[in-house]
Amino acid sequence: MLGACRLSFVTFLNILLTYDKTILQTLKEAGDEGLSVQKIARHVYNASNNFFETISFEEVHRYVQYYLLKNSKSSDSLIENTGQRGVYRLNKNSAELQQLTFLFVDDEEESPTQCVDQSLSLF
């Protein structure tokens, strides 16, 4: 993956972790209906490409497909097949998903600090 670019190992791992997080966030937003591998890969591709680093859609699709297959093997896996070929969703019965849900909620609950107007009142 990303064979044309010469990346450090740490950079490569950061890219994969970003893909993983984007896949999970996409499946979370998709809900119980799930999404096809093609749509998930398109979302990850659009979220990961930028002006300075371009990646091929085929590489992203290959990784997304690998990730979904790897993480949907058992009944307690993080991801499950919906019964339709190539359509996946988050497995609500997964213990790992329960832990990740806490992490997502903690990220969302961080409230921005309120700005207090400390300027002098003229009146």
pLDDT profile of the chain (123 residues), mean per 10? 56 72 90 92 90 86 93 86 90 73 53 63 65
**Are the C-beta atoms of residues 36 and 86 closer than 8 Å to each other?**
yes
Q: pLDDT value at position 2?
A: 47
pLDDT reported for residue 49: 83
The pLDDT value recorded for residue 76 is 83
Q: What pLDDT was estimated at residue 42? A: 95
* pTM of this prediction exceeds 0.95: no
- Helical spans, DSSP H, in the chain: 9-30, 37-48, 57-70, 95-109
- What pLDDT score does 12 carry? 62
